[in-house]
Amino acid sequence: SYSFCTLLNTSPDQMRVIFITDLEGDYGHLIRFIEMCEELRLNQRGEIEFTADDASFVFGGDLFDRYQGDIQLATTLTQFKKRYPDRVWLLVGNRDINKLRLFREATKAESPPLPFWDRGSIPPYSGDNNNLVSKVKYLLKETMGASRTFEFRRGELAELTKCERDQVTDEQVANSFIDSIKENGFLLEYLKCAQLAVILNKSLFIHAGITPATVGFTPTMDLPFIRNNDPPHTVSETPQEWVHNLNTFYKEGIKQYEDGLTKWYDDGMGSFPGAALIASQSAPATAFKTPVVVSAYSQGVINLSPSDQLLIENFLSRSSITVVCSGHKPVGDCPLVCSLPAAPSIYFVYADTSHDRKSVTSVILSPSDIQVKGFMKSEGETQLLDYSPTQIPLIGRRSACGWWVRSAVKATSTYRLCRQTGRSYEYSENMKEDDVKKLVGEFSVWQPPSESVN
């Protein structure tokens, strides 16, 4: 068993925290990340090791779905956590927790279970399609945003068993998903080693970050997996209390799910083993209050009014938190680090680069600084990144037309900007400081909306 404590026993002035998030099945990206990171290495058995005694590691959630490496990622990070239980912290996101739905909805339900939030397709719970393969394919594609995951799993199984893809049957792929969330399954073992949040170095790590709606929100174990206008919950007064309550809830939810594998029940109204935990990653089930999926960042805009920022600052200050690290919402090829205009002592780090893998970057947090290290491919060249956003005033500023100052290229004393439209990204050429100032304005940070949008 693993502790769900919120703080390391290491002295803060001796600790650096390496942060990466939203690998989403991309095992190759993890390998490139480790090769780039001075504090980590792979041993001859393919296991991750620390090379520095003062380093720790946080993965921010969403390990699965969008690339062909779910099994290898889960196995590798679970081994890493077991080897360094007090230095490695694995957080969960919606793409991790929602796989627990498959046990009920693909193997137990005889009709489409509620909640039924999909794209309007016909669910395979009758006729010739009423089988495990059809249900797993349907649930992944239509209700979990994982349209290619079934075929990715086929490819990974072929790779691991050293056979051709067409030798892996649909039934084997479907059973792989179900077996992964049963006793000793690789996904359930990963979830048992993970948690919802952690506080290290005055930094809060949580999958989707923090908004006025999510501040202090912790579901209770009687939360049903249905649409809830008033979900049962408690409200924590401090970040430390919040993290403790979230992780306690998570641990209880995992245990309830695990116990239910052999003692199943379902009242048909959203109550079954693991229901509260599964509901906790659902926006409709939590009235859009869950910190697992509700983010202030969306498509290039941080939706926090000045009063929202002050509310968040007041809450975070009760535990001396100065940095919030999250993922969940893609931000391009490099982490976005910015301070809050109305509360400049608070920095937000958004580090989901899953939709643009041209770069490999890490965020390293010490008690007094934030560093972004790595490399990116730009203008046909590979450019090294090594900068501190807190020490460069232009980083994290946003122009009126949506350009974020994202990264600084030390070798050329230039900046690179990014603008997001939906999930498409546009990047500037490397720009000199004076040109960046003309674009974003001498005093512009980013212009928050006049009212909160959550």
Is residue 243 within 8 A of residue 301, CB to CB? The reply is no
CA atoms in the 13 A half-sphere facing the CB of 274: 26
- CA gap 177, 62 in Å, rounded: 16
- The predicted pLDDT at position 18 comes to 97
Is residue 179 within 8 A of residue 185, CB to CB? The reply is yes
pTM: 0.93
Beta strands 197-200; 203-206: pairing state: antiparallel
Residue type, 308: D
- CA gap 434, 438 in Å, rounded: 6
Is residue 197 within 8 A of residue 204, CB to CB? The reply is yes
Task: Kindly tell me the burial class for residue 292, based on how many C-beta atoms sit within 10 Å of its own C-beta (0-12, 13-18, 19 or more).
Answer: buried
- The predicted pLDDT at position 261 comes to 96
- CA gap 74, 58 in Å, rounded: 14
Is residue 343 within 8 A of residue 312, CB to CB? The reply is yes
Q: Per this entry, what is the length of the chain?
A: 454
Among 222, 225, 218, 282, which Cα is nearest to 250's? 218
- The predicted pLDDT at position 384 comes to 85
Buried b (16+ CB within 10 A) or exposed e, 55-74: bbbbbbbbbbbbbbbbbbbb
- CA gap 123, 143 in Å, rounded: 10
Residue type, 448: P
Q: Find the helix or strand (DSSP H, E) in which 235 lies.
A: strand 233-235
- CA gap 300, 418 in Å, rounded: 9
- CA gap 242, 197 in Å, rounded: 9
Measured distance between the N- and C-terminal CA atoms of the chain, rounded to whole angstroms: 36
Q: For residue 168, what is the DSSP state?
A: S
Phi, psi torsion values for 160, nearest 5 degrees: -75, -30
The tokens for 385 are 């990144």
- The predicted pLDDT at position 119 comes to 55
CA dist list (Å): 75 to 131, 150, 206, 277: 29, 19, 22, 22
pLDDT single digits (tens) 327-356: 999 999 899 999 988 989 999 999 999 988
- CA gap 247, 50 in Å, rounded: 25
- The predicted pLDDT at position 118 comes to 54
Is residue 404 within 8 A of residue 419, CB to CB? The reply is yes
- CA gap 40, 90 in Å, rounded: 16
Residues of the chain with pLDDT under 70: 1-14, 114-121, 378-380, 442-454
Per the omega criterion (within 30 degrees of 0), is the bond before 284 cis? no
Among 15, 2, 190, which Cα is nearest to 84's? 2
Q: Find the helix or strand (DSSP H, E) in which 312 lies.
A: helix 306-317
Residues 119, 298, 325, 308: is their CA dihedral positive or negative? negative
Buried b (16+ CB within 10 A) or exposed e, 270-288: bbbbbbbbbbbbbbbbbbe
The torsion angle over the Cα atoms of residues 273, 182, 207 and 156, rounded to 10 degrees, is -150
Instruction: Mark out the alpha helices in 84-204 (DSSP H runs).
Output: 94-97, 101-107, 132-138, 149-161, 170-180, 186-193
Residue 370, helix vs strand vs coil: strand
Is residue 64 within 8 A of residue 149, CB to CB? The reply is yes
To which residue do tokens 């690789």 refer?
186
- CA gap 279, 185 in Å, rounded: 21
Q: How many CB atoms lie within 10 A of CB 369?
A: 13
- The predicted pLDDT at position 273 comes to 97
